[in-house]
C-alpha cells in the first residue's frame, strides 16, 4: 500500500502543478486518481463498505453540486461548469469521493476546501484581497473600465496539495487509519 500512496502523491503533485500553472488538468490524471484512491480504499475495507461509502460520498457531491448550480444560476446568474466551478474541480471531487469512508471523506473534503481558501488568500496577489469580499457577498467585482474582474482558483490543485500533506503525514507519523469504518 505504500507504493500506491507514493504513486497517488506523485499524481496529486502533477494535478497541483498543472492546475496551479494553467488552471487546466489533463483528464487522464483524474482517471488515474480515481483508480488509485479507489484501489487504496477498496484494499482497506470490505467490498460492501466500499460500495456504500462511495455511494454516500457521490450523493454528497451530487447534492453539493446541485446547491452550487442553483446558487450560480439564480444568484450569480452565471454558468455553473467553468463559470462558478471548473469541470476539473468537479472531476476531482468525484475522484476523492472514491477514496475514503463517508465520515472521513466529509471531514477531509471540508478541511481541504478551507485549506484551499487559506492557501489561495496567502498566495494570491493584492488585487484578490480587494475583490474577495465582493465575491463572497455574491457580487462579481468590476474593474475601473466596468468589465468583470473574476479570478479562477485552482481548487483541484489546492485540494491535491492538501491530500499530499495528509498522505505524507500518515506515511511518516503513527496515526490511526483513515479507513476505519
* pLDDT value for 177: 83
Of the candidates 86, 100, 110, the residue with the CA atom closest to the CA atom of residue 8: 100
Report yes or no on 115 lying in a domain. Answer: yes
Structural domain containing residue 128: 2-172
Report yes or no on 71 lying in a domain. Answer: yes
pLDDT at residue 130 tops 70: no
Q: How many CB atoms lie within 10 A of CB 174?
A: 5
Report yes or no on 177 lying in a domain. Answer: no
Q: What is the pTM of this model?
A: 0.83
Report yes or no on 24 lying in a domain. Answer: yes
pLDDT at residue 132 tops 90: no
* pLDDT value for 147: 44
Report yes or no on 122 lying in a domain. Answer: yes
* pLDDT value for 54: 97
**pLDDT band at residue 131, thresholds of 50, 70 and 90?**
very low
The residue ranking higher by pLDDT, 91 or 138, is 91
Taking the CA atoms of residue 14, residue 17, residue 111 and residue 108 in that order, the dihedral angle to the nearest 10 degrees is 0
pLDDT at residue 145 tops 70: no
Mean pLDDT of the chain: 85
Report yes or no on 181 lying in a domain. Answer: no
* pLDDT value for 181: 57
Q: Is 180 helix (H, G, I), strand (E, B) or coil?
A: coil
* pLDDT value for 80: 85
Report yes or no on 179 lying in a domain. Answer: no
Number of domains in the chain: 1
Report yes or no on 110 lying in a domain. Answer: yes
Contacts 24+ apart (CB under 8 A), 60-69: 60/97, 60/102, 60/105, 60/106, 60/109, 61/90, 61/93, 61/94, 61/97, 64/93, 65/90, 65/93
What percent of the chain lies above the pLDDT cut of 90?
Answer: 63
Contact in structure between 51 and 109 (CB atoms under 8 Å): no
pLDDT at residue 134 tops 90: no
* pLDDT value for 142: 45
* pLDDT value for 126: 57
Contact in structure between 91 and 27 (CB atoms under 8 Å): yes
* pLDDT value for 174: 81
Of the candidates 91, 109, 112, the residue with the CA atom closest to the CA atom of residue 28: 91
The residue ranking higher by pLDDT, 140 or 58, is 58
Q: Is 76 helix (H, G, I), strand (E, B) or coil?
A: coil
Would you give the DSSP letter of residue 179?
A: T
Amino acid at each position: 500500500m505504500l507504493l500506491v500512496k507514493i504513486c497517488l502523491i506523485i499524481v496529486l503533485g502533477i494535478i497541483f502543478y498543472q492546475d496551479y500553472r494553467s488552471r487546466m488538468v489533463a483528464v487522464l490524471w483524474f482517471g488515474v486518481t480515481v483508480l488509485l484512491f479507489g484501489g487504496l480504499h477498496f484494499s482497506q475495507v470490505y467490498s460492501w463498505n466500499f460500495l456504500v461509502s462511495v455511494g454516500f460520498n457521490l450523493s454528497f457531491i451530487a447534492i453539493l453540486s446541485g446547491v452550487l448550480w442553483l446558487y450560480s444560476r439564480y444568484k450569480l446568474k452565471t454558468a455553473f461548469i467553468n463559470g462558478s466551478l471548473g469541470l476539473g474541480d468537479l472531476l476531482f471531487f468525484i475522484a476523492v469521493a472514491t477514496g475514503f469512508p463517508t465520515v472521513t471523506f466529509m471531514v477531509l473534503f471540508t478541511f481541504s476546501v478551507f485549506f484551499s481558501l487559506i492557501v489561495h488568500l496567502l498566495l494570491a496577489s493584492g488585487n484578490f484581497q480587494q475583490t474577495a469580499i465582493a465575491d463572497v457577498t455574491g457580487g462579481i467585482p468590476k474593474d475601473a473600465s466596468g468589465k468583470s474582474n473574476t479570478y479562477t482558483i485552482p481548487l483541484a490543485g489546492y485540494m491535491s496539495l492538501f491530500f499530499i500533506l495528509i498522505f505524507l503525514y500518515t506515511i511518516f507519523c503513527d496515526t490511526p487509519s483513515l479507513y476505519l469504518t
